[in-house]
Structure 1
């Protein structure tokens, strides 16, 4: 009789746990990061001297099992890292495009030379000289503002990298705490399943910042390397390292991980950090090219100006004051009469415009407008390519998420079937207990 009661009681306890698991699944439908659980049920094992198998001794809960798929989860993290790299790189290409086109530098340079051509038609016209001086000021301002825009983009990139590194360090600390919790939690418990959900969410967030490689132990604790399988260890057990961001005098970006002892170099192959590396390189190249154009422009225009005679027949003085950086140029004169339109040796008030012809020659040989256009065009082509790649990688990531969720997500239809099944099993176990009680009462009454 006691066996019948214990069988029924074991069923009630086991199916109550199973019902709780189903209820938890239903309650968390659509919750990001939640992985469906199932209850593992086992037959009660018989202990004793007999080695033969005896069936019909009840049921016990073997544990709560997460329906996660390690390989599909890894595919999501890898695709997230790829997408994060491309999107971040595209962001900084967009910043470069805005900086190079926002102040219409190419147009301002063209306006300057167009005004020079107009002055050549009447070199003694003070109003025309004033227009040329105004356009020179416009070109200098456009150079300066474009250089400042690139400098701001560089500062924003540095700040963005620092924020990403700070977030990554916070995630590493949180993951180490989750590892500690997994080491303390009872394997197969709801607590262990919940901690595993948190672990996977942290890994997903990390993969958007940099590519990660993982290794799990029997308790579900994870060791994380950054970069690739040969990269530095970031999280091991309950210990998390610290990622640092550095930038040298040449503008090159580097990252390092320090967990114990000397820092190890981190070479991100994916995620926002890899996009920062690409963006920094693009910004350095654009800034360097713009500085070269500015230096050449100031040097050659000043050389032409100083090789001619102004309206008073005096040797011309430099038109632009070089800056540091080169784009920080300023106008060296505000007097229209000092513009050297004529050749050296021309008398005051000369209508000679040969030095303006030399200015046009310098324009053609300098190729400053073409240089600006080339920077903008090359950057625009790279940006468009990144956008196309991002679209493809976004689709890959969406497919990876869908594949993962198909294996680990909650399906209400499935849960409804499970709910009915375990309800019926629970009711059947209750009836076994009731039947045992009735039989026991009958026996007592017989006696």
Structure 2
């Protein structure tokens, strides 16, 4: 009897000590990123009968059957999903803000207005050389603003592509690390603290990956994860497929996984792709606007004569916002007079036709519409981002409440397991006293 009591009490002391160790581990890692609360899983150890005790019940105490991670697969999947959506929105918003700055700060709208104002002033005195020079200077400024806008757009696109390339490299590193974790999980003991640490590492890597590209996961009984994205497998067992990025001629980007084309729907890569598509659209509209400015002015020039009576020559040359430039060198080259007018004519009818053509084309309105559309897109994406941020924060809070360390709970566990340890020690003392008493019987 005393020997049974002693072994039972010893097993209880060992179990209580293990639970105290796990509690101390939780407290120590309360602020560690990605740490999931552990608990010692206890189970009864009992055996019936034995030699000389057939039909008797032999109680054998308790044991620690494993270390349990307080993880919720659904909440973790929700955190990954919402994180992927949020990173896509953040990246796209940053790209659109840079696009907005490139168009707005270039001052294209103001330059168009100033160019038309210079033409209006010249219409009051078509022969004034100072006013002619002012018109030519306004045209040169307008062309420069288009060039600046395109350069700024190119810089914004280059930044997006650079960040996307860095994210692709990071995704490949994470994929390789996940493959290594899978291999280590296959060798880790069931319910061991090593397995719990590996599972924490696995979940942290999956969350990082979800911020780069949207992923789907499936888990094996040993905890190994299979990761897919865009319908292609990224990590399977100890193998990971390479993610690559290609750049099209228009600056947009595409992705391949193991050689197969994929179209990410979430993560920073999806956001970068969306922002670059927007940049390409804005660039096309700037090119159209620049060509319309040059075409309208040059067409009016062809219908009139310069101040020296020679046929009107183009003021602008080049194609698109990047190529537009002023080729006229003298203010006298502005064809204010109609065809057939003599040299020195102050007939401004062709200038009036040019102003009317510019008014009909409504170039300032087109530039303003472009600015409005870009600003509206930024405003709309900001609202979406804020909503996704709230959703992602809610998902994370829910996970942390379920899987995180609550110091109040751990403090209570310290007292509970300490008392269990002391009680088991007292039981061992009682067993020792009984044994001594038995030995002392005569």
Q: Report the TM range for the smaller structure's normalisation.
A: over 0.9
- Superposition map of 1:214-225 within 5 A: 214-225=217-228
Residues 208, 271 of structure 1: 8 Å contact kept: yes
Distance in 1 separating the partners of 2:55 and 2:408: 41
Residues 290, 327 of structure 1: 8 Å contact kept: no
1:12 matched to 2:13: yes
Residues 126, 347 of structure 2: 8 Å contact kept: yes
Q: 2:269 aligns with which of 263, 270, 273?
A: 273
Change (3 A) 1:52 1:125: farther
Residues 320, 331 of structure 1: 8 Å contact kept: yes
TM-score, length-normalised on structure 2?
A: 0.95
- State the Cα deviation string for residues 14-63 of structure 1 (Å, max 9, x = none): 11110000011111113221111110011113277799794631111000
Q: Which moved more, 1:116-125 or 1:355-364?
A: 355-364
- Superposition map of 1:314-393 within 5 A: 314-323=310-319, 325-393=320-388
- SS of corresponding position for 1:316: coil
Distance in 1 separating the partners of 2:104 and 2:54: 85
* Offset at residue 425 of structure 1 (A): 0.8
1:244 matched to 2:208: no
- Superposition map of 1:166-185 within 5 A: 166-185=169-188
| Unaligned runs of at least 5 residues, structure 2 | none
- SS of corresponding position for 2:78: helix
Residues 180, 238 of structure 1: 8 Å contact kept: yes
* Offset at residue 245 of structure 1 (A): 1.1
Distance in 2 separating the partners of 1:45 and 1:4: 13
Change (3 A) 1:99 1:53: farther
| Unaligned runs of at least 5 residues, structure 1 | none
* Offset at residue 251 of structure 1 (A): 4.0
- State the Cα deviation string for residues 281-337 of structure 1 (Å, max 9, x = none): 1111111111111112112211212321111111122111214x5432221022122
1:422 matched to 2:417: yes
Distance in 2 separating the partners of 1:264 and 1:384: 35
Counterpart of 1:56 in structure 2 is 59
* Offset at residue 94 of structure 1 (A): 1.0
**Root-mean-square deviation (CA), in Å?**
1.9
* Equivalent residues, number: 439
- Superposition map of 1:160-239 within 5 A: 160-227=163-230, 231-239=231-239
Residues 147, 328 of structure 1: 8 Å contact kept: no
- State the Cα deviation string for residues 369-425 of structure 1 (Å, max 9, x = none): 222222211121121111111111111111111111121111111111111111011
Residues 183, 221 of structure 1: 8 Å contact kept: yes
- Superposition map of 1:19-38 within 5 A: 19-38=20-39
TM-score, length-normalised on structure 1?
A: 0.94
- Superposition map of 1:62-141 within 5 A: 62-141=65-144
- SS of corresponding position for 1:44: strand
Distance in 1 separating the partners of 2:438 and 2:216: 66
Residues 46, 53 of structure 1: 8 Å contact kept: no
